[in-house]
Amino acid sequence: MTLVPHHDGSALHVSAVAPALGDVVHVRLRVPAGYGPLAAVRTRSNPDHEPEWTDAARIGAADGWDWWEAPVTVRNPRHGYRWMLQHEDGRVEWLNQTGLHRIETLDAEDFALVAHPAPPAWLNEAVLYQVFPDRFARSAQADTHPTPDWAIPAQWSDPVDPVMPGRSQQFYGGDLEGVIEKLDHLVALGANLLYLTPVFPAESNHRYDAGSFERIDPLLGGDEAYVRLIEAAHARGIRVIGDLTSNHSGDSHEWFRSAFGNPDAPETEFYYFTDEGNTEYVSWLGYASLPKFDWSSEELRRRFISGDDSVVAKWLKPPYSADGWRIDVANMTGRLGDVDLNAEVRQLLRETMLRINPDAILLGESTNDAASDLQGDGWHGAMTYPSFTRPVWGWLSEPTGVPYLDANGEELTESWFFGQPIGGIPRYTAREFADAVTRFTAGIPWRVRLGNMQPLDTHDTARFATNAAPGAIPVAVGLSLTMPGLPVVFAGDEFGLVGADGEESRTPMPWGTEGEPAVAERIALYRDLIALRRAHPALQSGGFRWVHTDDETVVFVRESADETLLVLASRGDADAALDAGAVPGASAATALFGDATLAVADDGAVLLSADGPAFAVWALPGVAAPAPVQPVEATEVSRGVVDADIPTPADEVREP
């Protein structure tokens, strides 16, 4: 790849990652030495939908890059900006989050400063471990719990039944005491954030059809077990977040039962009843067991979110002291036809959490293009698939065609691909993988991108390992732990579990197999890569820059002032030549992971090679940059059309 100007939202390029409205933030652009020559470099913002320009000054050079700096005043809660490069020959280029362009670009893909309160710093340091409680671990105490009327009992060794009614009612009886007993497994693995899918009483094994939000399911051990679990996790340095359905309740929920058939009940306004007798109603995707909430109800907002005794607040307070929420079906919450209250709901959630526990995190489920909802006003990040998970599958899968049964008992051979009827898993090259990641992160502010969950799979998907190409699992796991975002391990991935769809992936954990060679090798892979992530802050919040893509291989760096991590990922054999200056300091590289060769040519070019599939990481020195130079008072800001009399940076160049 030819060296081009670079900017991202990391501390290398942005002076304040958590600015307030009215703050002046100094943003920096790196331009390869000899690029141009440039007559001017400017930023273009669009506050209140009227363009605003600031001039950049060249502040010095380091390691083959010229550095430019410009002031940007944060005028809106999401303040977008892009770079304009004016060449002396009259050409103009624009740099935004999708890259460098010769024509003007979309505001939606600008870099963005976010003036909403920042997420807690610990989010960037987290490695999340997801547990589906019914299938994770069953303690001896679980034997004392009566099997509920709705359940179809199963032994821990029984195969998952993917056909209804077993699909939602097969009951293995995992409980919270069982989770407590296995917390040391998370510690050994290196995970430090535990995400539990719903733990409220319900009439299904998944519990997304809550019967109440006021108590923990007695089948899991009740409120007391939840307190013990969080206390035990905290004692081990593990935070815990819960799962809450803001789009719907179950039809067994106490609110719904009060309103069903009773139009005079106060809870009638909580739902979308469509007949005078309150017996017909709107539900999630037509599932009658999941009646949809009507968020125009102020009383629903008070009971669920805003009140000091609300559902959201209760479980964040002592004695429970949970560390945040993942919100189920966040993308549909408050939305129905011509009604769109989603922003109000997510902002109310954020406001309440800041008041009750400002150190808690808020993640939303938005499984497709989530950019419009991920602008920093509500969700700290999202469980979303097109910006990482689906591209990884497209690149690193080799569908097996093994038949499996859907919910209706129909045999399928096309590999499951996130519910998309496109004939199975698409086939991407490495370059297309990189293009997809860029496309679906371009509309998301950097700070929010760092909070986006980055799973290979979840309880709602097939297991990645089911169709992984030979040798591709270390590549995929490595990418999830080194690219920007919140790494996710779905319980059982580290044991090598497979599952053809979102039900068959919910396999009971095979405790006791840890000593088997294949399982031990897979656990060691996860342990080593998680340790790498946690040991290197550049992998947590450092900048991100592609330095090579071809059909088989991607190479990128995660950068900070203190260190640079060079990462190679390849499905086939890798043979990548990086231009001189692409990765300064490569001659001092230290291999951290993987089996690959790094060589530096006489002209400074870097040569990377490996027999594929391959995943490798090297540590390099941090990025050298000129010291910050505060712009002079005369630095101009203009609104609308650029004034021809504004001095260009070429008139104001100052060396440090």
Rounded to the nearest 10°, the torsion over CA 630, 633, 635, 641 is 140
The sign of the dihedral angle between the CA atoms of 570, 571, 573, 579 is negative
Rounded to the nearest 10°, the torsion over CA 216, 221, 223, 224 is -170
Q: Is 328 noted as a catalytic residue in this protein?
A: yes
Cα–Cα–Cα angle for 495, 382, 288, rounded to 5 degrees: 90
- Given the residues 55, 69, 93, 365, select the one marked as catalytic: 365
Q: Is 435 noted as a catalytic residue in this protein?
A: no
Tell me whether the omega of the peptide bond preceding residue 319 falls within 30 degrees of 0, making it cis: yes
42 contacts 51 by C-beta, under 8 angstroms = no
* Closest CA relative to residue 650, chosen from 68, 103, 93, 84: 68
438 contacts 428 by C-beta, under 8 angstroms = no
Both tokens of residue 505? Answer: 């992936």
* Closest CA relative to residue 487, chosen from 533, 524, 441, 442: 533
**Rounded CA separation 244/2 (Å):** 46
476 contacts 143 by C-beta, under 8 angstroms = no
**Rounded CA separation 116/378 (Å):** 9
* Closest CA relative to residue 619, chosen from 589, 597, 648, 586: 589
Beta carbons within 8 Å of 72's beta carbon, 6+ residues apart: 24, 25, 26, 27, 43, 45, 54, 79, 81, 113
Tell me whether the omega of the peptide bond preceding residue 266 falls within 30 degrees of 0, making it cis: no
Beta carbons within 8 Å of 215's beta carbon, 6+ residues apart: 200, 201, 222, 223
Are β-strands 606-610 and 574-578 bridged in parallel, bridged antiparallel, or unpaired?
Answer: antiparallel
46 contacts 107 by C-beta, under 8 angstroms = yes
**Rounded CA separation 199/309 (Å):** 19
- Given the residues 328, 493, 494, 503, select the one marked as catalytic: 328
* Closest CA relative to residue 33, chosen from 12, 1, 10, 4: 4
544 contacts 535 by C-beta, under 8 angstroms = no
Which are the catalytic amino acids? Answer: 328, 365
